Structure 1
Amino acid sequence: MEKRVFTCFRLLSVLLLNSASAQNTNLFFPEGGTLNLSLPVSEALTSVLWKHNGNLVVELVNSDLEYYGRFENRTTLNQNTGRLEIKNITEADSGSYSVEINNKVQSQGYDVTVLKKVPKPEVVVRPLTCAPALERCSLSCEGDTRGDGTVTYSWKEGDGEWKQEERNITIKNSEEIKRVKTFSCRMNNPVSKAESEPHQNPFFQDETNGSSGVIWGILCVVFIGIIIVCLFLYFKKRESIRNICSQRRDGNNTRIINETQPLHANSTALESQPPNSNSTAPESQPPNSNSTAPESQPPNSNSTAPESQPPNSNSTAPESQPPDSNSTAPESQPLNPEESEEHL
């Protein structure tokens, strides 16, 4: 009991005497993390006392170690270095921390702030109907930052560098902005940072899409031209093949006509030509002096007359022609006197 009273009196006196001269360092820790406080010590430790906002946290006297209040079971004191460690800290652990080593109040203190980690932000376009027809739009880096302390914002255009800006920025529908594909934002506080997903620029115009559209148009025109040329060549070749086939058919017909014309001419000549003195009669011709007469004719000394026609001296007339002085009469005509004598 006396020890506790003495300790309280000593702490009160230290607070009163050294409050004006104490210099604190600002430190930030994430909520749920671990708080670590230490001091450079060059002498052996016999006593250590840590306080939070004037309340006892832990006390070491010789080898006796005692933890106080809500810091018990989650606080550790290194007896060799005086280092203080508090786990699973919350916002309630924020405040001023002071230390006394070997019954001497240290001028070095700490102002601790426990902060929440920033959430992953989202880029929101306003108005929501922002389109290339508008002159300007605004972008906002949205996220719940309550309990995050001092939050700063940064913006990035496409794959460019991060630039610290306000939470809300304005973009204009200019040629420079039209070349930016996406916008990203980032939130920062002393214990964390988080980036948004890239958001499509409402004013973005893809130059490659325009050029690719022109290229596709040219390719389509070329393709259609090739099809037209191929069709033209196909029909032209087809027409030439048709002409060649027609010429071949005409040539074959001409050759057949040429081959049949002499036969027709010969047959016509045989039917219509009158016999001359040197011509030989067809089947109906009577035999000459060297020929044999047909069965119905009386034979002469050297030849036999044809079956149906009497012979003359040189030739026999056709069936349809009347006999002349040199021709032989048909089958029904009698022999002339000269032939009778010759026969006799």
Structure 2
Amino acid sequence: MSAFWTVSAVLLLYFMQDSDCSRLIYAKIGDSVILHPSQTFESMSTITWMHNMNAIMQWRSGGDAVCLGDFIGRCRLDKPTGSLLIKHLTVEDTGKYNPEIDNKILDVTELWVIKPVPKPTVSAECNNGMSVCDLTCEANITSHFGPVMYRWEAGDKLLSTNMKISLTRNNMERSFVCKLQNHVSNSSSDEVPNPIVPQGIHPAGVAVPIVVLVLFLVAVGSYMRQRNDEKQVQTVEEVHVKRSALSLKALRNNGVSLESFESGPSPSPVRKFSSAREIYLQDDEERWVQNHPEYRNLTPELREFRLHRDL
């Protein structure tokens, strides 16, 4: 009867423990974990570690620690501290652990042994106009992976923490990556191109050539307008020079002096040169120009006219 009441008291104490006192630890399958007592002791004479109220390790002062059940060959006790090492963890090791030291039951440590997350894949579903697309991060997730968090990223930018993300024409990112993460691992999908943005044509790759083309056309237009303006001015000057040359030539043929032309009609008759004199003037033109350097920049017609006048 006393044994019955002893077991009942132990069960009652176990289930009456405040859940706030328990600690939660995550560990990966195949790894090792160390469980520590919730308090320290100066000396200990007996230690018993339990898993879900089942004894898995026992030790008495002066003896060796003995691992029990599925923990044989996988556990080890640190006698000075009372900490328990468990190796080669399996999913079945998940549960509540607590030590009983010198007949004192201590706080519970909850261990959750989980699997590393798998590599996710991405599926896309778009409307007929390719203006809206839904990307879904897919993976075979079970309770053995523990709490799993989703992350959608574009470069270093976090877009969403949901399993699915909706894209519109406002999403100009070139590609996306889905990431899965739990307390012991993380994994990323392959980079997925944006189904809405045509691949190979990045918005910046379109904008830059357009800006360059516009600047080039503006520069060409300005250059052409400047050339047209210069041609018009040159044409007007050439017409003016030709008209001036023709007028001077007509005056010379009629024997009108430049002073008479500039001051108006003169009542005195104008002398005309003979053909012999013309020949003489042509032969001495070069010498006349050398003696009158101020006439060197005159047009041929005006220079010839003044040569006739001076000679």
Fold conserved between structures, TM > 0.5: yes
**Structure 1 residues 79 and 164: alpha-carbon distance in aligned structure 2, compared to 1, 3 A threshold:** farther
Q: Secondary structure at the match of 1:209?
A: helix
> Aligned residue pairs: how many?
208
**Pairs within 5 Å for 1:171-190:** 171-174=167-170, 177=171, 179-190=172-183
1:49 corresponding residue in structure 2 = 48
1:38 corresponding residue in structure 2 = 36
User: What's the TM-score, normalizing by structure 2?
Assistant: 0.59
- Counterpart of 2:28 in structure 1: which amino acid? P
Q: Secondary structure at the match of 2:23?
A: strand
2:156 corresponding residue in structure 1 = 159
Tell me how far apart the structure 1 counterparts of residues 176 and 4 of structure 2 sit (CA, whole Å).
58
**Structure 1 residues 56 and 12: alpha-carbon distance in aligned structure 2, compared to 1, 3 A threshold:** farther
- Counterpart of 1:74 in structure 2: which amino acid? R
1:214-259: CA deviation from partner (whole Å, max 9, x where unpaired): 58989xx9xxxxxxxxxxxxxxxxxxxxxxxxxxxxxxxxxxxxxx
CA positional deviation for 1:37: 0.6
Radius of gyration: which is bigger? 1
**Pairs within 5 Å for 1:242-257:** none
Match of 1:202 among 195, 198, 203: 195
1:284-307: CA deviation from partner (whole Å, max 9, x where unpaired): xxxxxxxxxxxxxxxxxxxxxxxx
Match of 1:29 among 27, 30, 42: 27
Tell me how far apart the structure 2 counterparts of residues 82 and 22 of structure 1 sit (CA, whole Å).
22
C-alpha contact 1:22 1:109 (8 A) present in aligned 2: no
Which stretches in structure 1 are left out of the alignment for 5+ residues? 1-5, 222-344
1:122-162: CA deviation from partner (whole Å, max 9, x where unpaired): 232224xx78x4120101112222321221211112332x3
C-alpha contact 2:26 2:113 (8 A) present in aligned 1: yes
**Pairs within 5 Å for 1:208-247:** 208-211=204-207, 214=210
Q: Secondary structure at the match of 1:70?
A: helix
Q: Secondary structure at the match of 2:181?
A: strand
> Which runs of structure 1 show a deviation greater than 6 angstroms over 4 or more consecutive aligned residues?
6-9, 215-218
- Counterpart of 1:168 in structure 2: which amino acid? K
User: What's the TM-score, normalizing by structure 1?
Assistant: 0.54
Fraction of identical pairs, as percent = 26
1:123 corresponding residue in structure 2 = 122
Q: Secondary structure at the match of 2:145?
A: coil
**Structure 1 residues 46 and 167: alpha-carbon distance in aligned structure 2, compared to 1, 3 A threshold:** same
Tell me how far apart the structure 1 counterparts of residues 7 and 96 of structure 2 sit (CA, whole Å).
15
Comparing both structures, which one devotes a greater share of its residues to helix?
A: 2
1:79-115: CA deviation from partner (whole Å, max 9, x where unpaired): 1111111111111111111111122111x10222111
Which stretches in structure 2 are left out of the alignment for 5+ residues? 218-311
1:14-56: CA deviation from partner (whole Å, max 9, x where unpaired): 2233431354222221111112210231421211110111111
1:240 corresponding residue in structure 2 = none
Q: How large is the Cα RMSD of the aligned pairs? A: 3.0
C-alpha contact 1:152 1:164 (8 A) present in aligned 2: no
C-alpha contact 2:133 2:196 (8 A) present in aligned 1: no
